[in-house]
Amino acid sequence: MAIFNKLSLTQVSGFNNQIIAGELVYNQKTYWNLTISNSDGTARDLTGSTISSQILRRQLSNVRDSRYGLTFDIADYTPTPTPVNLTITNQNLAGGTFTLVIDESAWSVISTDTQLDINAANPVGFSGNIKIAIPASGSTPAQDLIIFLLFLVRSDGVTN
């Protein structure tokens, strides 16, 4: 898995926000089991919450591997793509757990995309978020927890 430069991640998530960032291979399927925790490390009860996730294709430029990890610039992709809904499964809201499913084949990246060339300087990129909408409870108002997402998609050299 790639190591990202902190300043590059800050472009996507801002300061002190949670982010999941990774480098994927074209047509890769994987998942992440996530647990939302309280400050004392115990699982947070998310009963009544709604969890959703979306990503959007982005234009990456100036991608390079620096001493401190991958650096890049990120911008809107042209033409503006349609957001992609990611699948959330295995929800155990009382236990604060769920699974984020990654199926890159559903993201409309085609094998002839020039950003998948083995020698492409700037790979395919996606950013988005996981949104956990927590309802109001007693005197506590409703709250949205946001976890930012960043994925770079590269060729394995076989596909393209």
Q: What is the CATH number of the domain that holds 23?
A: 2.60.40
For residue 135, the enclosing domain spans: 6-154
Q: What is the pLDDT of residue 2?
A: 64
Query: How would DSSP label each residue in 56-116?
Result: EEEEEEEEEEETTEEEEEEEE-SSPPPPEEPEEEEEEGGGTEEEEEEEGGGS---TT-GGG
Average pLDDT, the chain: 85
Residue 160 lies in a domain: no
| Phi and psi angles of residue 145, each rounded to the nearest 5 degrees, phi first | -95, 130
Residue 1 lies in a domain: no
Taking the C-alpha atoms of residue 61 and residue 76, their distance in angstroms, rounded to an integer, is: 11
Taking the C-alpha atoms of residue 102 and residue 30, their distance in angstroms, rounded to an integer, is: 5
Q: Give the number of domains in the chain.
A: 1
Q: What is the pLDDT of residue 127?
A: 92
Residue 106 lies in a domain: yes
Residue 43 lies in a domain: yes
Q: Does the pLDDT at position 63 exceed 60?
A: yes
Who's near 31: CB < 8 A, 6+ residues apart? 99, 100, 101, 102
Q: Which residue has the higher pLDDT, 112 or 137?
A: 137
pTM of the prediction?
Answer: 0.85
